[in-house]
Amino acid sequence: MTLITSQAINLSLRGQTQTEILNELAEMAVSLGKVSDPQTFALALAARELQGSTGFGDSVALPHTRSACVIAPGILVARTPHSVAWHASDDEPVFCWLCLMIPEQGAVADTQLLSTLCRKMVNPDFTAALKTRDERGILELILSAIS
């Protein structure tokens, strides 16, 4: 099971709003074969945001969802050159996203592996690396975190 490849990293999203960012993440997921329907996935991510913002603080958000449209678990990493309003825990806008995709009927191991990555988000060095490294550096960071 490959959770992330370099194709799952986009450091130049164009979205200006939360909805546009979620749509771009959904399109990325479909292009990777991880999700069957971009609209359903984007709506599932948006519904999760309504339960409570995934804005982690320090300009980073962790949008995630468990959905029937998710074919295989996966991780996306994205950034924008500008900040986007996200209702984050620190009330600051976001420019870096780590998006988790979990199949509705996913294995417990899928959820545990992805939750391991979530726990890394509390480390300021980890989030700083997400915000500053290039694609190769981000891939190495994520693979190290989940191995």
pLDDT in tens, 23-58: 999 999 999 999 999 999 999 999 999 999 999 899
Residue 121 sits at φ, ψ, to 5 deg, of -65, -15
Are residues 61 and 54 in contact, defined by beta-carbon separation less than 8 angstroms?
A: yes
Report pTM: 0.94
Tallying the residues shown for the chain, one arrives at: 147
pLDDT in tens, 91-112: 999 999 999 999 988 777 777 8
- Known catalytic residue at 82: no
Which candidate in 64, 66, 79, 120 is catalytic? Answer: 64
